[in-house]
Amino acid sequence: AVTLDGERVEIKARDGTSFVSIKPEGEEITDRLIAKGIEVKATAQQESGFMSMLSLWLPFLVLIGIWIFFMNRMQGGGRGGAMGFGKSKAKLLTEKNGRVTFDDVAGIDEAKEELEEIVEFLRNPQKFSRLGGKIPKGALLVGPPGTGKTLLARAIAGEAGVPFFTISGSDFVEMFVGVGASRVRDMFEQAKKNAPCIVFIDEIDAVGRSRGVGYGGGNDEREQTLNQLLVEMDGFEANEGVIIIAATNRPDVLDPALLRPGRFDRQVQVPNPDIKGREKILGVHARKVPLGPDVDLRIIARGTPGFSGADLSNLVNEAALTAARVGRRFVTMEDFENAKDRVMMGAERRSMVMSEEEKKLTAYHEAGHAVVGLYVPQHDPIHKATIIPRGRALGLVMSLPERDQLSVTYTKYRSKIAMAMGGKVAEELVFGKENVTSGAASDIQQVSRIARAMVTQFGFSDELGNIDYANEQESFLGSYQSHSNISPETQQKIDAEVRRLVDEGYAEAKRILTEHADEHHRLANALLEYETLTGTEITRVLAGEALNRGDDHDDTPSGNIPSVTAIPKTSARPKSADGGLEPEPTA
């Protein structure tokens, strides 16, 4: 007889022996046994009442559990509340993410010294505390974009040897009410658990704007976040061992309560580097690039006034790409010059089709700028002139100062206006007033901006005196926001003075180009022939000398300002005969 109990098969033979087996899968064993005349018994499976009930209610219990979990999170039961949106997005920076030290920071020595002191305080607090000094609670890094504020923070993280949390000001902002304040609380809770530590808030102006200047729910939420940040930085509860470092390029919009001592004890200015700083920064970035024997970082630094640290890093990278494009094994001075022109003037558009008439007009226009720039007083030396379209311009003349300038004289501003008007004057003198083109539109914008600033901001008008009439207020480092605060009568006087300065510059440019007409024609023809001329080549052309492009590689700017010689020259490298071109020789 055979007894079937689910998958279990119990077999009892006629001689009384019995054994147990497993029901074969996929076979109708019952029909086969009956066909053989074997007695088959089947036992019904009995499920327990508990298991039956569990299988019935389990799906409902799972759904109820999920619903309770999410309701608990939305009501603040979970960490941070609001389904976890209130959890801080601050990240703990570790060495594996790329270690940066103060050796990688150059050109901003004063800012570096102030932050090195904070690191030293964390390493050796007894050195300062024995005289009653306290560690600064916060430092605000202020400077234009690209000057190295975030790099300084990364260097602190690499040097401090303590936990370093980093977060962006925009990470506090979310679409839900109360999330920003919750994230601030959560961030400081994490920081206190890891004290002593440093918290770096990048672009703090996103959350630290002055209160009371906006309306609406979004503004109220931002103010609530700022209030919580103010309390956490310096409130009733002690916040020992947590140092806040923040960075911004808009210090004017920050709330005064955020800037007071006790929250940000120090405001560290991070300006654009001077010529010595630029040379040091170039040296840092040049470590990663094989340099040719002719590369002089001092000359490159002199030719990049106003460049930030980020601009110089981009310059070195562009030079390396330029060298790789032509197959060199190292970067030469020519690559740096080409990269500088690309960064400052835009990429060449050689594929742009220009008629001969347009080329001739552009050549005379740019030659007019160059000739006027060489004969007006106190003007910066001419670096390069070209009629090859670059960026949005059909041609341009680039002037570069040979030293960093902290202030500009009245005479130099007048010279800038005269040089800018030289292009339009040249078109009028050569082609006639009826054939003057719209190519001088950007020049007119430039001279209008300079003349208006001379009248309304710098006090260079006897008619209006030494009063600030500017319709602008600085809302960004290097940018302005307009508003009206002067009468219509005064505005008419301002417009008249601006017109006078521009007309005087136009007349000066016309006088110079009339007196030096032969030189103007000579330079325009040279531009038509060579398309691009350096400062030295322009001087030779005006002197009537022949150009020899074969051995003329001197790119020194021409002008009436002496060169800077006070800075020690970069040490020369051994000369190479092959110019660094591939293939690389093998031993």
pLDDT digits (tens, 9 = 90+) for 223-238: 888 888 888 888 666 6
In this prediction, residues 16-44 reach a mean pLDDT of: 68
Q: Is the dihedral of CA 252, 254, 256, 262 positive or negative?
A: negative
What is the residue-averaged pLDDT of the chain?
Answer: 79
Average pLDDT over residues 185-210: 85
- Tens digit of pLDDT for each residue in 428-455? 999 998 989 888 899 999 999 999 999 9
Contact 469, 455 (CB under 8 A): yes
Respond yes or no: is residue 366 known to be catalytic: yes
Whether 95 and 265 have beta carbons less than 8 Å apart is answered as no
Contact 149, 310 (CB under 8 A): no
Q: For the residues 185-204, what does the mean pLDDT come to?
A: 85
502 Cβ neighbours under 8 A, 6+ residues apart: 417, 421, 447, 448, 451
d(CA 334, CA 323): 9
Question: b vs e for 551-574, b when ≥16 Cβ sit within 10 Å of the residue's Cβ?
Answer: eeeebbbbbeeeeeeeeeebeeee
Question: Does residue 80 carry a pLDDT above 60?
Answer: no
Distance, in Å, from the CA atom of 144 to the CA atom of 267, rounded to the nearest integer, reads: 14
- pLDDT score recorded for residue 72: 67
Residue 82 is predicted with a pLDDT of 42
Check pLDDT > 60 for residue 583: no
What is the token pair recorded at 255? 């709330």
Confidence of residue 191 (pLDDT cuts 50, 70, 90): confident
The encoded tokens of residue 342 equal 């690309």
Residue 554 confidence class, pLDDT cut points 50, 70, 90: very low
Q: Is the pLDDT confidence value at 551 over 50? A: no
Among 18-27, 203-212, 343-352, 518-527, the range scoring the smallest mean pLDDT is 18-27
73: pLDDT strictly greater than 70: no
How is 347-408 classified by DSSP, letter by letter?
-B-TTS---HHHHHHHHHHHHHHHHHHHHSTTPPPEEEEE-S-BTTBS-EEEE--SS--S--
- With a cut of 60, say whether residue 95 has pLDDT above it: no
What pLDDT sits at residue 374? Answer: 93
Quick one: pLDDT at residue 78?
42
Least confident range of 3-17, 75-89, 134-148, 238-252: 75-89
Q: Per this entry, what is the length of the chain?
A: 587
Catalytic residue among 318, 334, 366, 537: 366
State the Cα torsion 239-152-111-108 to the nearest 10°: 180
Find out whether 370 and 396 touch, Cβ atoms under 8 Å: no
DSSP string, 46-80: ---HHHHHHHHHHHHHHHHHHHHHHHHHHTT-STT
Does the pLDDT at position 540 exceed 50? yes
Q: How far apart are CA 394 and CA 363, in angstroms?
A: 10
Q: Give the whole-angstrom CA distance, residue 446 versus residue 502.
A: 10
Mean pLDDT of 311-328: 92
**What value does the mean pLDDT take over residues 527-533?**
89
**Cα 85 to the center of its chain, rounded Å:** 28
Q: Phi then psi for 346, rounded to 5 degrees?
A: 95, 165
CA angle 276, 277, 280 (to 5 degrees): 90
Query: CA 374, CA 526: separation in Å to the nearest integer?
Result: 16
- Cβ distance 254 to 248 under 8 Å? yes
